[in-house]
A and B are shown apart, each in its own frame.
Chain A
Amino acid sequence: MTTDNVLIKVENLCKSFGEVEVLKGINAEIKKGDVMVVIGASGSGKSTFLRCLNLLEEPTSGKIMFEGTDITDASVNINLHRQKMGMVFQQFNLFPHMTILRNLTIGPIKLLKQSKSEAEQNARKLLERVGLADRADAYPSQLSGGQKQRIAIVRALCMNPDVMLFDEPTSALDPEMVGEVLEVMKQLAAEGMTMVVVTHEMGFAREVGTDIVFVDEGVIVEQGNPKEFFDNPKSPRLQDFLSKVL
């Protein structure tokens, strides 16, 4: 495996909130085309780990190498790197005062310097793919949760990112809407998008994940391919966790 195949390399990542140590030295490698699924109990630090990857949380110590650059270095312009890292949130966080089309095109127009027509054409093409082409001129408040999350995914995709980060993308959805969002994510994975997904959807992890990571109390307790991970968990903590969620 050559090193330039590694998209994100996390070295000894630590994060504290005041006195509370949330991450206690995480090491991980995400290669191009990987779908890393991060699971763990709430409060284990899995979301904090994900949010550190694009520096929404500033790590207390440790390194995050993204495409060969240490983005924790203060001299790095993080905004340029964030353009290459799409992020999807639990609460969607669409911009409520803009139409869907504007939500999708404001980044490409203002940051990637695309022309309005170019950005809109691209946005409409992606909307088509998630089955929401007819909602381009609607406002976020007119959409269901599942539709909002699909739009949020498209918004990230419009920036043409190298990796997509998902922070519990289905946790705020009504059960009947989870499927449509997971379907879009599966499609993305099948097209070779590199993804890091924090989720409680074990079915998705098993089916789509290439690398499953179990985080507990701020450290990676166990990691492996889905088959090994789910069929043959080694650590007692993971066995205990899986017995509760499966």
Chain B
Amino acid sequence: MSAELPISSADSNAISDGAAFVTVFAGNQMFGLPIGEVRDVFKPAVITRVPQSDGVIAGVLNLRGRIVTAISMRARLLMDAAPDGSPVMAVGVEQDGELYGLLFDRVGDVLTLPAASLAPNPANLSAAWTGLSRGVFRLKEELMIVLNVPEVLRIMQGAQASTKA
């Protein structure tokens, strides 16, 4: 079961005026992904675990014949794991021709927010989250943290990471 979201033709890196965000939730915190960076949203079927892989990698899965690397966002955000059997939704993103599924607890609505309202990361945001965030939107009832997808996907690759200049 998956939904293809219209991919914005605007420059996906810039948060332009009246930009749309896909809202997602991990452990009660709301996050937002610029719609231009989201390929689709789907309920992952079976995720094959990959023994010996980084703890953040939940495994690999098959999406319409293509292999998608599933990343547990709870783990990525240094949160506790959800109890076994909790629902999971995946947000499909792409980088360098490869597909990734960011696993969240659930997906919310698509919100269109004025660019002007994007606020810098609050001082009390944890260091880990600050690194992954591009800013926040203060909504009526909660804070939406805008995720920096390329940063999210920059997962330590063992020895390679330490030798990068």
Does chain A bind chain B?
no
Residues on B close to A: CB < 8 A? none
